[in-house]
Structure formats: structure tokens, C-alpha cells
Amino acid sequence: MTVIQMQNRLQTEVREFFKLAVPLASAQVAQSATGFADTVMMGRMGADVLAAGGLAAIVFLSIMTATSGIVMGVSPLIAEAFGAGQKTRIQNVARQGLWLAILVSIPMMILTAHLDSWMSHAGQTETTVKLANTYLDIMLWGLFPAVGFAALRATVSALSQARPVMFIVVAGTAFNIVWNYILGFGKFGFPQMGLAGLALASVMALWGMFVALALYVFINPRLKNYRIFQELHRLRPRILWELVWVGVPIGLFSGLETGFFMVIMFWMGTLGTEALAAHQIVFQTIMVVFMVPLGISYATTVRVGQWLGRKDFVGVQQAAWVSMGMSTTLCLGFRSPCCYSPNRRSAFI
């Protein structure tokens, strides 16, 4: 292969990678912006609410991230099948991905409903545990749509149809923020529900995004030919096992990643409500930045899987190098001195 051909291939890879990475990273940032907005609203409700709400939010995020990570095995398997032109394989993996979302969500919902005693044993104050449990008892009903959305997002991304994901997530985030304000503070004739209102708004947003993406898969001309929602009643244990084999390590790693932040949050809680509330502000700010490379990682999974399906190992290498180059450039940009000017003051001060 000549140098010119290699350059052309690399340019094509960069272009295709951007088509996936930009909408996926934008969707992740939009989702994290919801937590940022929640933090601002919780802060207006008082330090106790901010501390408890922040603790409950990171607990739910850890559970949701680990559970969603398990179904992320859908992405590489479908990407590989898409690269190899195996339509039937794509259909079966997508369907079993939805089944896996149900099967892993149910036990995790039960776990979420019984976390109050664990939080008490972890040294949290009675007020914090009570408020956090109020939030979690509502949020657990948003776990399945969140995991189901992750399965569908993995499917459409692997089929190079990621852009609608960005629009759906941005719309869902805007909906969440508006209804957080309405239900949290009792506007436009609605009762003031406080922390429970924020949780209810989040659950409605999660269901809305899941339904919207499902409708898109059902009506989009390119996607409806795969007939993903047909024969959903059929369980295929072999494919389910493949998804579990690939997805469980992803889920464990993702859970440990967010679990690290959760442990720190619990330690902060032992220092008092004020320390816990302050840490929540810092954590949500960091999460917005972290979501950009996370979105890039999703795009990397798709591109590598597609090249692997075509048995093109040069393409696999190019996708990896483009991903690492983009991630490194972004991380260096985030660490630019202009981001740390001493003249800048936090919006929370």
C-alpha cells in the first residue's frame, strides 16, 4: 500500500470517526449536564438536600453505569457483524441485548430499593439517609429505560447511525431540567416535591429517551429493515451468553470506575453535611469533562468492531491511533493554562 493510499485511508478514518464520536460525546456531555443542573437546584434547596441528593445520585449513577456496561457488549458484536455483512446476526444480537437489559435491571432495581440500611452502616447521618432513600425509591424505576436506552444506543451506533442519539439525549436533558424546576420548586400549579420531584423528572426523561430511540429504530428506513422488534419473545441462550461474556468485564470496570467516586462521596459524608455538599459540586463539574473521552471510547468500540468484521487489521490499527490521538489532544486542551486562570471564579461562589 502506497503512502498516498495510507493517507487517504487515514483521512477517511478520521472523518468516519468524527461522525460517530461527536454525537456520542455530545450525548454524554448533555446527560452529565443534567446532573450539573440538578446540583444547582439541590443547592437552592439547602445543604442537607444537596448532600443527600448528591450521595443518592452517585449511588444510582454507579448502579446504572455498571448495569448499562453489561449490555454494552451489544456494540462490538453488532459492529463486527455489520462489518462482515451478517444481517441475521445483527438482528439476533440486538434483540438479545434488550432481553439482557431486562434481566440485569430487575435484580439491580431490588438492590437499589434496599440501600438505606447500607448507607446508615457507612456512617451517613439519619437525615442524609432518609432524603437519599426518598430519591432512590423513585429513581429505581428509571433503571430499566436507562439500560434499555444503552442497548439501543449501542445498536444504532454500531450501525453508524449515532447522530439521532445526540438529538434525543439533548431533548431529554432539556425536558429533565425544565421538569426538575417545575416539580422541585412547585411551579405552574404543581406541588413542591423537592428532591422527590427531581427524581420523578429524571425518571420521566429516561423513559422518554428510551421510547424516542425505540421509535426511531422502528421507523428509520435504514434500521427498520433489521426488524429488531420482531420475535422479541424468543430467547437465544447462546447469544445471551456471548453478550454476558463480553459485557460483564465492561460492566465491572465501569462500576469500579464510578464506584471509586462513590466511595469518596461516602467518606465525605462522614465529615459532615457541608463537606458532602461541597464535594458534590466538584464531582459534577468533573463529570462534564470526563464524559467527552467516554463518548470517544464508544466510537472507538464501533470503528474497531466494524474493521474487525471486515478482517481489516490495518483499519483496526488506524481506528485505535485516531482514537488515542483525539483523546490525547482533548485531554491536553482541558489542561490548558487558560482553563485555570486565577482570575476566574466558580459560578457557585
For 96-111, give one letter per residue: b (16+ CB within 10 A) or e.
Answer: bbbbbbebbbeebbee
**How far is the C-alpha of 307 from the C-alpha of 299, rounded, in Å?**
13
Tell me which residue of 122, 112, 123 sits closest to 59, measured CA to CA: 112
Amino acid identity, position 296: I
Listing DSSP states for 77-90 in one string gives HHHHHHHHT-HHHH
C-alpha cell at 11: 483521512
194 backbone dihedrals φ, ψ, rounded to 5°:
65, -135
pTM above 0.75, yes or no: yes
C-beta separation of 152 from 213 below 8 A: yes
What are the angstrom distances between the C-alpha of 220 and each of 13, 137, 163, 216, 217?
25, 35, 13, 6, 6
Q: How many angstroms separate the first and last alpha carbons of the chain?
A: 58
Angle at 31 between CA 28 and CA 35, to 5 degrees: 130
pLDDT (tens digit, 0 to 9) for every residue of the chain, 349 residues total?
565 666 677 777 777 777 777 777 777 777 666 666 777 777 778 777 877 777 788 788 888 888 988 898 888 898 888 888 888 888 899 999 999 999 999 999 999 888 877 777 767 777 878 888 888 999 999 999 999 998 998 888 888 787 888 889 889 888 988 998 899 888 888 888 888 899 899 899 999 999 999 999 888 888 888 788 887 778 888 999 999 998 888 888 877 877 777 777 777 767 766 776 677 677 767 777 777 777 787 778 778 877 877 777 777 788 888 878 877 777 776 554 444 444 433 333 3
Listing DSSP states for 290-348 in one string gives HHHHHHHHHHHHHHHHHHHHTT-HHHHHHHHHHHHHHHHHHHHHHT-GGGG-TT---TT
